[in-house]
Structure 1
Amino acid sequence: MKPAFWQRLDLWARNISPVGLSVVLILLSVIPTHVPGYGSIVPQLALMGVFHWTVFRPDLFPIWAVFVIGILQDALGGAPMGLNTIVYLTVFGVVLGQRRFFLGKTFWVEWLGFNIIAAGAALQAWLLLSAYHVHVLAPGPVFFQYLMTMGVYPLLAWVMGRWQRSVLR
């Protein structure tokens, strides 16, 4: 028997929610705060979404979604087009390759793994931006953005974990 329209719509909405939540994280990261200098150190919220959903629900977070999220982040955040796309696709590939390591581990291991991967992503973004501008950029803003990302991850991991347990069952 074919499921009813509303059941199919409900299933579709549940399955698209990791991508939708990552888009919401992008929108949250580009909201103007009018805090001087905050724009250069705003946490990489979308990177947290890419990491979390790649570890826990890669079946609902395909590579094309990572590509679209990267392009959207670049377009809304004012970065050179393709910068975050390359970084997010790299993170996606690395995390997908190490997914079995993260599954079943404590949150502290997950957080440590995220911190290492986020450091690599920050370094990659800094190198790509330096190459784009054809001179070495100051590493300070990238370092503080990394620290902000590291500090916000536990809260967002908790929210995404709750979402996964309640909505994605």
Structure 2
Amino acid sequence: MKNLRPNMTRFGLPGFIPLLITLLMAIIMLLPIGTGAANVTMPHLVLISVFYYMSYRPLLLPYGACAFVGFMLDLWLDVPLGMNMAMLVLTRFFVLNQLKHYRGKSAVFQWGTFGLLTVVLYTMSWALMSMINREMWPVVPHLTQWLVTLFAYAPVALLLGRFRKAFL
């Protein structure tokens, strides 16, 4: 009997494309943008990439890949070890549990879901940084980072969608 189920995963090089793109997003995040006088806040492109690919191709970005990219990002950004790793693993966990509720909805609904998830994650990271340093960290940098990431989601997701439709 013929298998009527569509192939949800691809193995080989196409199966690694989401991981490679997520690593490329991490490298782009590390580029020195801005000057000492006018520093530009970089959106969390890795978080956008993980949320996007988990929403459309969840099998191609497993927990281990999210943990690996998050750990490498922690090392590169010189933040407490495990913070970005926890953010990416929690993003994967959230999307897998809530995918049935927002799959097939409009892009605006997915953007709102991303916004709610990231406000929780950024609040968690702010609280963790405050506890580690034993002082209240300023809220404005975390709020600015969250807003930049939130508004960068739409154009980055558009680019990721075009790439996904072309190659996956």
Structure 2-normalised TM-score? 0.89
Equivalent residue number for residue 62 of structure 2: 62
Taking the aligned partners of 1:131 and 1:88, their CA distance within structure 2 comes to 20
CA distance in 2, matches of 1:88, 1:35: 29
Give the match for residue 148 of structure 1: 148
Q: CA deviation at 1:122?
A: 0.7
Partner of 1:121: 121
The offset of 1:118, in angstroms, is 1.0
Within 5 Å, give how 1:12-161 maps onto structure 2. 12-36=12-36, 38=39, 41-161=41-161
Q: Deviations over 1:77-108 (max 9, x none)?
A: 12111111111111111111001112101111
Q: Distance in 1 between matches of 2:80 and 2:30?
A: 15
Q: For 1:167 and 1:92, how far apart are their aligned partners in 2? A: 22
CA distance in 2, matches of 1:53, 1:131: 32
Match of residue 7 from structure 1: none
Runs of at least 4 residues of structure 1 off by over 2 A? 34-39
Residue identity opposite 1:82 in structure 2: G
| Shift in Å, 1:114 | 0.6
- Matched to 1:151, the amino acid is F
CA apart distance, 1:13:
1.3
The offset of 1:11, in angstroms, is 4.8
Name the amino acid aligned to 1:87: M
Q: Secondary structure of 1:137's match?
A: coil
Deviations 1:62-81 (A, max 9, x none): 00000011011111112111
Identity, in percent, stands at: 23
Question: Could you say what secondary structure the match of 1:96 adopts?
Answer: helix
Q: Aligned-pair distance for 1:131?
A: 1.4
- Judging by fraction of residues, say which structure has more helix: 1
Does the residue aligned with 1:152 lie in a helix, a strand or coil?
helix
Gaps in structure 1 of 5+ consecutive residues: 1-9
Structure 1 residue 38: deviation in Å?
3.5
Q: Quote how far apart the aligned CAs of 1:34 are.
A: 3.5
Structure 1 residues 33-61: Cα deviation after superposition (integer angstroms, max 9, x where no partner): 1434647x321111001111111111101
Unaligned runs of 5+ in 2: 1-9
